[in-house]
Chain A
C-alpha cells in the first residue's frame, strides 16, 4: 500500500529542456500567470470571476468562454504552423530538429481540429442557438457548463505537455504501432489520449444537450420545417456527435489500456491488431470532419440570406443535403487508407460512397449561389468571409473528388497534395465559417460592431496569404513531397514552392493579428449597437437586445414561418398591431460550482494518468465522482424567478416597450 501511494516514477525528462523556445515559453507562462493573479487580486475581481464566469450556466457566457478558448488555441496552433513553415522555407534548414518538428505537427493538427475548430463552432452554437429558436437557455444549462469545463480541462492538459514531460509526436492520427508503448514510451502520447478523452466527454454532452434543446425548446409555432438553417445544421451535427464520439472514447480507452496497463489491443505481441486503430480512428474521424463543417454551412446559409436580403434558395434541399451528408459521413472512412491493402472491392465501394458526397455538397453550393440571384448583395465583413468561402471551398471540394478515386489516391496519399486539400476544406470551410460567424454574432455578444475597414484588411491578408500558402502544396505534393517531413533535400524542384508557402503563412498570420487588433480597436471605438438588429437580420436572435438580456426574451415570440423575425418586421411595417402580452416572472437556472470543480478533478486525474502515477489518477477520478454524487443529492434550490418589475426595468433600459 505504501509502495503504491508514494511511488512516483519520474519520466526521463519531467521539465522539457534544451531549447530556447521552451525556456521562452516557461518565462512567458510564469509571467502571464503572475500577471493574471496580480490583476485579479489588485482589482478585487476574484469574486466577480467566480460568480460571473467560473460558475455561470448562461449559454451566452459559456459561448464567449468557448470562443475565447478557441481563439487562444487558434493562436497556439497558428504559432505551431508558422514554426513548421519557417523550418520548411528552404531545403536542409536546422531551425527545428526532427523531434521538435514531430511534436509541433502533432500538436498543430490535434489542437486545430479538437481544441480550435470544435469549440469555436460549439461556442457560436451556444451563443446563437437558444436565441435563434426563441428559448431562454439550453435544455440542460448546468450540463452545458460541464461540457465547457471538461473541454477546458482536456485542452489545458494537452497544452501543458509542451513544458512538462514533452508533447505527443505520433501525428494527430496517432497510428499504432508507432503510438504504442513499444515505439513511443513516455508521457507525450498519454497527453494526447487523456486530453482528448476528457474534452471528448464534454463534446458528447454538448451533442446531447443541443439535440434536446432543439427538439424540445423551440418557440411556439416553430416547427422543424420553420427552423433556421444554423439550427438545422446544429441539430444534425449533434446527432453525428452522439454517434461518432463514443467510437473515439472507446479507441482512446483501448490505447490507454495498451499504453498504461500493458494490454494488447493494438500490439502484435499478444495478438493485437495495429490496423484496428486506423479503422476506429477514422470511423470517428471522418464524421468528425463533418461535425466541423456542417455548422459552418449553417452559418454561411444565415449570412448569405441576410446580406443578399433574400430568403435562402431551396431551403428543403439544403436540409436534405445536410441529412444525406451526415448519413454518408459514416460510410466513407476507408478512403483515409485506400493504400493499406483493403483489396479492390472495398476500395471501389468506398471510392464511390466518397464521390457521392459531392452531390449534396454541390447542391448546397448552387443553392447558395442562387440565394444571391436577384438579391441585393451587401459586402459587409461577415458576407465577405462567406463569399470568400465559395471559391476556396470549391478548390478543396474538387480536389477532394480527385482524392476519392482510389487508384489516383495511391499517388496523392499522405503527400502535400492531401495537405493542400484538407486545408482548403478545413480553413476554407470551417475557419472562414467561424470567422464569418464570429463577426456576424459579435454585436449580439458584446453590443458593438467590429470595424468594417479593419475587417476587410484582415480578410484580404488572410485570403491572399491562405491561397499563397496552400496552392503550392498541391504542386509539391504532385512532385513527391510527403507530409510530416521535417526537412527536404535541394534539387527536387520543391524549393520555390515551399518559399511561397511560407510567405503565404505569414500573410495569414498578419490577417489573424489584424482580426484580433480589430476586437480591441472596436471595443474602444467601434460603433455601438443599440437596436439589437445591426444587420437587418431575419431570425429571432436579432429580436433581442445586444447583448441579449440574461433571460433572452421577455416574451417568447410566436413563430409564423421561416425567417420569423423578418416576418414580424414586415407585419409591423404593414401596421399590424402587436398582441398585448402580460409579463410573467421568468424562471431561470442558478449558477453552479460543480462543473468547474468536477473538471478540475478530471484534470488532476488526467495529469496523474499521463505520468502513470495511478494514485494521483485515482484521487482525481474519485474526486470527480464524489462531486457528481454530491450534486445529485443537492438537486434543490437550483433555480429562481426574475420578478416582473426587474424584467420591465431591463427591457425599458434597452429601449423596448413592454
Chain B
C-alpha cells in the first residue's frame, strides 16, 4: 500500500516533468553561435557519458534491491564470507578512468579553443563591457559610441568583449551565444562570442551584486552587417554625446533604461574604486614595485591612448 503511494507519486512527477520537456529548447540548449555550439556539443557529450554511469548504477541498484531483499524464503540466511573481489574493484576503477579521459580530452581542447576567435578569418569587433551598480555599459572603441543596458552586434562577426566592472563583480552571460565570464573591478578580461544570424538574445548578470542585481537583464541584438553599420551611423548622427559628468552619474547605484550615446568620455574604469571614485595612486617615496608595476601602468596608458585615437578617427 505504502509502496503504491510512492509509485503513484513518482509517476505523477514524471508526467509533470515530461509535459514540460517540449519547451526545453531555449537558453543553453539552443545555441545560436559557434561558441555556444562548442559548449553545447561538450555538454551533450558529457550527458551521453554520464548516462552510461547513471544506467549502470541504477540497473545494479534495482537488481540488488529486488533480488536480495528480506523475504520469508531467505529467513535462513547465513552471512557469506566474501568481503572483496579484486577484479571487480579493478573493473569499477578502470571504467571511470576511461570515461574521465573521454571527457577530459574534449574539455581541454575546448578550453584552449575558446581563448581564440571563433571565426579567425573574419575581422573581429571589440566591445568594452562595464558592469556598474546595476547596469551594463557597452563602449564601442572602434565606433566611438556607447550603449547602456542593450548591445547591438553584427551577425556572423566574432565579437571580442573586454570585461571590467565598477563596484561589485558581475558575470556577463548570454546563454544562447555562449558561456559567461566575470566582470571584475581593476582587472580586464576577455570573452569571445559570435551570433550565427540576426536575432535578439537575452543576457543577464550571473553573479550576485546586490540589491537590483535581478534587474540586470539586457538584450543582445544581432543585426545583419549592413544594418549594423547603418545603426552605428545613425547613432553617431542622432544620439547625444556623453559628458564626464553624465558618465559619473551613470555609475551611481540604481536601475536605468536603455540609453545610446554618440561618444563617451575617456575614463579608465580600472582605476575607479568600489564607489566609482578615482583611486589615488599610493604616494610611495621609494619604488617597491620595481619595473613590473611600472610597465603595467605604461601599458594601460598606451591602451587609453589607442582608444582615444580610434575615437578621434571616427569623428
Contact = CB atoms under 8 A, between A and B. Distances in A.
A171 B114 CA distance: 30
Contacts, number: 294
B57 A365 contact: yes
A369 B60 contact: yes
B89 interface: yes
B2 interface: yes
Contacts of B10: 464
Given A177-B185, A376-B77, A411-B179, A351 B104 contact: yes
Contact of B206 (A175, A271, A358, A413): A413
Q: Which of B61, B64, B115 has the most CB of A within 10 A?
A: B64
B200 interface: no
A382 to B, nearest CB: 15
A348 B111 contact: yes
Per DSSP, are chain A's interface residues mostly helix, strand or loop, or mixed? helix
B179 A409 contact: yes
A366 B92 contact: yes
Contact of A460 (B9, B23, B211): B9
Contacts of B110: 405, 407
A363 interface: yes
Interface in A275-325: 275, 308-317
B185 A274 contact: yes
Contact of B279 (A269, A417, A472): A269
Interface in B44-67: 46-47, 49-50, 53-54, 57-58, 60-61, 64-65
Interface in A404-455: 405-415, 417
Given A348-B112, A363-B89, A377-B69, A398 B80 contact: no
A468 interface: yes
Nearest to B17: A471
Given A351-B104, A369-B57, A480-B175, A492 B211 contact: no
A411 B39 CA distance: 8
B93 A312 contact: no
Interface stretch (A52-60, A337-345, A579-587, A629-637): A337-345
A456 interface: yes
Nearest to A347: B111
Given A317-B84, A414-B206, A401 B180 contact: no
Interface in A149-202: 170-171, 175, 177-178, 180, 182-184
Nearest to B174: A480
B107 interface: yes
B118 interface: no
A507 to B, nearest CB: 9
A478 B107 contact: no
A390 interface: yes
Contact of A464 (B6, B69, B96): B6
B84 A183 contact: no
Nearest to B212: A98
A485 interface: yes
A475 B20 contact: yes
A398 B168 contact: no
B282 interface: yes
B208 A405 contact: no
Interface stretch (B24-32, B146-154, B231-239, B242-250): B24-32
Given A340-B189, A410-B181, A468-B13, 12 more contacts: A267-B273, A351-B111, A363-B93, A363-B96, A367-B89, A375-B79, A405-B42, A414-B180, A464-B9, A475-B24, A479-B26, A492-B202
Interface of A: 98-99, 102, 170-171, 175, 177-178, 180, 182-184, 267-271, 274-275, 308-317, 337, 339-341, 343-344, 347-348, 351-352, 355-356, 358-359, 362-363, 365-367, 369-370, 372-379, 387, 390-391, 394-395, 398-399, 401-402, 405-415, 417, 456-457, 460, 464, 467-468, 471-472, 475, 477-480, 482-489, 492-493, 496-497, 500
24 contacts: A182-B274, A184-B210, A268-B185, A269-B279, A270-B282, A274-B169, A312-B83, A355-B103, A373-B64, A379-B70, A387-B65, A390-B57, A394-B57, A408-B179, A410-B114, A414-B207, A414-B208, A464-B9, A464-B13, A467-B13, A471-B13, A479-B24, A484-B213, A488-B214
